[in-house]
Amino acid sequence: MKNFDPQYNDIPKTEIHCHLEGAIRTQTIIDVARQYQLKIPAYEVSELDRYVKVYDQLQDLTAVLKAFDIFQNSIASPAIFERMAWELFEDCARQNIKLFEVRFSPDWAFHGHTVDWDASLEGLLRAQAKAEAELDMVIGVIAITSRSMGAESCVRTVDWAIRHRQHIQAVDLADGETLYPIGDFVKPILKAKDAGLKVTIHSGEDTPASAVQATIQNFMPDRIGHGIHSIEDLRVVELIKEKDITLEVNPWSNYLTNSVRTIEEHPLKKLFDLGVKVTINSDDPEVLETNVNNEYRIAH
Ligand SMILES: [Zn+2]
């Protein structure tokens, strides 16, 4: 649930794990569908919400990835992408987020309508400049390479990010960790690192501590998206600390995707007590109907 309780809203906050593709307002999807004559299951917010939001715990991660089809289809032009970015920045400012990092997968996001990558980035940067000037926040940009799009896509995305490294701070390897072998992505990700980009990897979300260990050994990332299952092996927890890796934790997302069975079992506090650098984030605030304030409330 969206939460604007002053108890959490008044705290100046950061959000460093948020997918733009999962942060598109339902009304915006409807507006875009009308403007571009796109077919969507419903044209009223309350009706469409039933298709684009996850309210209850899912059986596995694949189901939530399916819910993204409608989002992908709504990214119809660079101008629309700019609007979506601006609206996300507005939603962050409403929660008193002072440092925000937005991430998106260009190959995935712009796939549906063959939207131009560079023009879309320019749109996002305009929204970023406006938000930094008007909303009292600073914004970083992370380019995602999606495992499901394959190794070639990873190479293309990394090269694109390197070309735009003046504006893009990091790359992220995301989605379906169980389905795609790590080996395909090591070379391009290390190339990004060599070029001076920071690296974050989705790992240990619905996979065991051994996956986090392999991620660290192969990529030596600056941060890990989720990483919660590292708690199952204290040697991996020690490795995270030793390498000074920050975890981008998304409590409600982990519950909804069934990466933790109950929210009470979530290892956020345990990891914190063990001395791991943990941060609290929303992951996909529109799909998962949450925000950072709500994540703080849950953690509290
Ligand atoms: Zn994520």
**Cβ atoms of 203 and 211 closer than 8 Å:** yes
pLDDT band at 181 (very low <50, low <70, confident <90, very high): confident
Q: Is the pLDDT of residue 61 over 80?
A: no
Compute how many other C-beta atoms are within 10 angstroms of the C-beta atom of residue 28.
16
Compute how many other C-beta atoms are within 10 angstroms of the C-beta atom of residue 120.
23
Cα of 19 from ligand 1 centre, angstroms: 6
Mean pLDDT of 277-286: 97
Question: Which domain covers residue 32, as residue numbers?
Answer: 6-299
Residue 38 falls inside a structural domain: yes
For residues 118, 122, 125, 131, the Cα torsion angle rounded to the nearest 10 degrees is -140
Q: Identify the H or E element spanning 247.
A: strand 246-249
d(CA 193, CA 190): 5
Mean pLDDT of the chain: 95
Output the pLDDT for position 233.
Answer: 98
Residues lining ion ligand 1 (Cβ < 5 A) are 283
Output the pLDDT for position 69.
Answer: 87
Number of domains in the chain: 1
Number of continuous H segments (helices) and E segments (strands) in the chain: 15, 8
d(CA 66, CA 52): 10
Q: Is the pLDDT of residue 63 over 90?
A: no
Cα of 203 from ligand 1 centre, angstroms: 10
Residue 56 falls inside a structural domain: yes
Cα of 165 from ligand 1 centre, angstroms: 21
Output the pLDDT for position 161.
Answer: 98
Residue 287 falls inside a structural domain: yes
Residue 102 falls inside a structural domain: yes
Output the pLDDT for position 58.
Answer: 85
Q: Is the pLDDT of residue 45 over 90?
A: yes
Total-model pTM: 0.96
Residue 229 falls inside a structural domain: yes
Q: Is the pLDDT of residue 288 over 80?
A: yes
279-290 burial string, b = 16+ CB within 10 Å, else e? bbbbbbbbbbbb
Q: Of the candidates 101, 96, 90, 110, which has an alpha carbon nearest to the alpha carbon of residue 21? A: 110
- In angstroms, the Cα distances linking 201 to 87, 128, 131, 233, 257 are 26, 24, 27, 19, 18
d(CA 9, CA 247): 22
Output the pLDDT for position 100.
Answer: 98
Cα of 224 from ligand 1 centre, angstroms: 10
Compute how many other C-beta atoms are within 10 angstroms of the C-beta atom of residue 199.
19
Cα of 10 from ligand 1 centre, angstroms: 25
Residue 166 falls inside a structural domain: yes
Residue 149 falls inside a structural domain: yes
**Cβ atoms of 256 and 64 closer than 8 Å:** yes
Residue 1 falls inside a structural domain: no
Q: Is the pLDDT of residue 62 over 70?
A: no
Q: What residue type is assigned to position 255 of the chain?
A: Y
d(CA 223, CA 170): 10
pLDDT band at 66 (very low <50, low <70, confident <90, very high): low
Mean pLDDT of 178-192: 93
Lowest mean pLDDT across 41-55, 119-133, 281-295: 41-55
d(CA 187, CA 179): 19
Output the pLDDT for position 243.
Answer: 98
Output the pLDDT for position 175.
Answer: 86
Cα of 100 from ligand 1 centre, angstroms: 14
**Cβ atoms of 200 and 142 closer than 8 Å:** yes
- What token pair was written down for 5? 């309780």
The CATH number of whichever domain residue 33 belongs to comes to 3.20.20.140
Output the pLDDT for position 178.
Answer: 86
Express each pLDDT in 224-258 by its tens digit.
Answer: 999 999 999 999 999 999 999 999 999 999 999 89
Cα of 173 from ligand 1 centre, angstroms: 9
